[in-house]
Structure 1
Amino acid sequence: MQVERLFEIVFILLHKEKVTAKWLAEKFEVSTRTIYRDLDTLSSAGIPIYTNKGNGGGISILEGFKLEKTFLSEAEQNDILFGLQCLGATGYKERSQALNKLGQLFRREDYHWIQVDFTPWGDQGNVENNFNVLRYSIIHRQVVAFDYYSGVGEKTRRCIWPYRLVFKGKAWYVEGYCLLRKAIRLFKLTRIRQIEQGEESFLLEVLEEKMREVKPQPEIGEQGDCIAITLWVSKALAYRIYDEFEVEQVKLLADGNFEVNIDYIEYPEEDWFYNYLLSFGKEIEVKSPESVRVRLKEKIEAMLRHYC
């Protein structure tokens, strides 16, 4: 990563009197030409770097130069350190070394003030492992294979060209081209098992063309008909109303309770949706449509039979 390498070069130059381009090239496993391009980039950004040829020559930085005062403002430093902290939430383990080095570079001791963790409680490392394998596959444009369990419990073996990782609705997904379905799909990371890094690579240009052709669809099992629905929700669950619904969907009633009108685009008629409605317990009533009321009643009666 060029940005990370640039910061590392500055860090080295601030702590060493002089280094050679050959030494830097060997350290970062790049060509000396790449190192000289990096030095030009740093010089253009205002870093006072000097190079001397011949015996005893090398690359150095102006004595007394301090990165925190001449290159980045305090607000910019905070943004960088905060961004690295957030990277930890994605399972990017390499960020710890960079975070510590930049903290020392900026002479800051307050960069551990926040911790962000997107993994669910009780996770045994499955999501983190899936994330790391997929991150590598996306960066190196390699096929990845895994077992996938749909929303109805169906297990299939998938091979995909991963395009990007998406965090939405309190969960991580990977978006990519599924070679089995021949379509763009979204896969939930918690439903991925036995993930393997493939050796086959793909062209980003070809994948991006497929991304433009069709809107990605969730891989959650057979999708039912989309519906519009109206709910009555007790004021006892006011704390969930504005966490889980858009303001435009919510109407405050005269008695303090709520009416929620859900757009049909957002909630397809599937089992997971009924389970979601049941999570509200007795504090919710489906007002319409009648088909949902009937289906929900059947599910409640089936639950009751377990306790009769």
Structure 2
Amino acid sequence: MQVERLFEIVFILLHKEKVTAKWLAEKFEVSTRTIYRDLDTLSSAGIPIYTNKGNGGGISILEGFKLEKTFLSEAEQNDILFGLQCLEATGYTERSQALNKLGQLFRREDYNWLQVDFTPWGDQGNVENNFNVLRHSIIHRQVVTFEYYSGMGEKTKRCIWPYRLVFKGKAWYVEGYCLLRKAIRLFKLTRIRQIEQREEGFQIEVLEEKRKEVKEQPETKPEGNLISIRLWVSKTLAYRIYDEFEVEQVKLLEDGNFQVDLDYIEYPEDDWLYHYLLSFGKEIEVKSPESVRIKLKENIQAILQFYNEAGALQK
């Protein structure tokens, strides 16, 4: 937060003739002592800041000073703007404002060359709300409670010390210390409901120690026996092949169809696996192992039986 405040102070000084430490302290909701420390930091970085005491005094910056010539190289400017563009994609509106201000501050007109969007297609209002609550709780080190639904549909009440937000595998997670499990866990934001930021806080030093002591066990990892699978996939699903599998896992056959070999590390043998395979419809065939072929057919037969019985009841 200090870095963002420093940039904001420089931006204000470049656009105002003079301000007071008290005015800056009230704007950023910090003490005047903190503002003076920020000014010392900026001066040490080569920013020509002047302070005049007494009636009509205040804080000012050398007229004609240009930030990009003495503070940051062009490459460093690009890195900062790129980072803010990535943060803007999370929906953090303050970062969008900072991005516009820094673009002006650096006298840059090309800072919108990239758009990063982490949000999936469809309505994800619940995820956005969860993200914003967790972001605020992480920054202010406040406890969070919520209802959490596991991959098997089990609902539990959780209370965590949130540490950081993680984007992995096309989804957002929050990493934190779970008071229920007494362990560091990852929680998928789409499975979080009734989130609430509590008034009580926690010490980041204690959380850091727990992260060192407790082995991370992702809350969303499917359980089951890990196996290797070989699939035949129709060429009509080529778009899914290259979206969902690594190039090294895919072999193009002479007839244009595909052979896919899945690493056992990523594909546990449980209901999640069979639901995933069924999503390919008739355009996929399990070649091995035989146990998966048999269980997949059992799932198909169960679905067929369900629809036959439902149809009979409707008659």
With normalisation by structure 2, the TM-score equals 0.88
- Aligned pairs for 1:117-132 (under 5 A) are 117-132=117-132
Of 4-13 and 17-26, the range deviating more from structure 2: 17-26
1:265-287 CA deviation, whole Å, 9 max, x = no partner?
21222222222222222222212
For each residue in 1:115-170, what CA deviation from the matched residue of structure 2 results, as whole angstroms up to 9, or x when unmatched?
A: 43323323252101100111122222222111111222221111112121111111
1:93 matched residue in structure 2? 93
1:209 shift after superposition:
2.7
d(CA) in 1 for partners of 2:7, 2:222: 48
Distance in structure 1 (CA, Å) of the matches to 2:186 and 2:122: 23
Read off the aligned partner of 1:195 and give its amino acid letter: I
1:45 counterpart residue number: 45
1:120 alignment partner, SS class: coil
Distance 1:120 1:239, change over 3 A: closer
Q: Do residues 4 (structure 1) and 15 (structure 2) align? A: no
Q: 1:151-194 deviations in whole A, cap 9, x for unaligned? A: 22221111112121111111111112222222222211111110
CA distances 1:80-114 after superposition (whole Å, capped 9, x unpaired): 33322221222212123222322332334444444
2:148 equivalent to 1:148: yes
Decide whether aligned partners of structure 1 residues 21 and 241 sit closer, same or farther in structure 2, where only a CA change above 3 A counts. same
Most deviating of 9-18 and 213-222? 213-222
Q: Name the counterpart of 1:27.
A: 27
The aligned runs of 1:1-308 (5 Å cut-off) are: 1-220=1-220, 223-308=223-308
Distance 2:208 2:256 in 1: 49
Map Cα deviations across residues 184-229 of structure 1 (whole Å, 9 max, x no partner).
2221111111001122322223322332334433334872222222
Out of 177-186 and 231-240, give the one that drifted further: 231-240
Q: Which digits, 9 at most, give the CA deviation of each residue in 1:52-82, with x for residues without a partner? A: 3344433221111122344334443333333
Instruction: Out of 164-173 and 229-238, give the one that drifted further.
Output: 229-238
16-25 or 212-221, which moves further after superposition?
212-221
- Maintained 8 Å contact 2:81/2:103: yes
1:230 to partner: Cα distance: 1.9
Whether the 8 Å CA contact 2:21–2:35 is kept in 1: the answer is yes
What is the CA–CA distance in structure 2 between the aligned matches of 1:147 and 1:71, rounded to whole Å? 47
Q: Is the 8 A contact 1:175 1:216 kept in 2?
A: no
Amino acid at match of 1:204: I
Moved more, 217-226 or 1-10: 217-226
What is the rounded CA distance, in whole Å, between the counterparts of 1:204 and 1:156 in structure 2? 25
Q: Percent identity?
A: 87
SS in 2 for 1:218: coil
SS in 1 for 2:7: helix
- Secondary structure at 2:286's aligned position in 1? strand
Distance apart, 1:20 and its partner CA = 2.5
In structure 1, what is the Cα distance between the partners aligned to 2:220 and 2:100? 41
Distance in 2, matches of 1:231 and 1:205, equals: 48
Shift of 1:254: 4.2
**CA 1:274 to 1:218, structure 2 compared with 1: closer, same or farther past 3 Å?**
farther
Contiguous gaps of at least 5 residues in structure 2: 309-315
SS of 2:13's equivalent in the other structure is helix
**What letter corresponds to residue 81 of structure 1 in structure 2?**
L
What's the TM-score once normalised by structure 1's chain length?
Answer: 0.89
Retained in 1: the 8 A contact 2:183–2:215?
no
Q: Structure 1: how far apart are the matches of 2:136 and 2:150?
A: 24
Give the Cα–Cα distance (whole angstroms) in 2 for the partners of residues 140 and 301 of structure 1. 53
Choose 160-169 or 93-102, whichever is displaced more: 93-102
Take 2:290 and 2:255, find their aligned partners in 1: how far apart are those partners? 24
Aligned pair in 2 of structure 1 residues 48, 3: CA closer, same or farther (>3 Å)?
A: same
- The whole-number CA distance in structure 1 between the counterparts of 2:127 and 2:222 is 24
Distance 1:222 1:261 in 2: 19
What is the number of equivalent residue pairs in this alignment?
A: 308
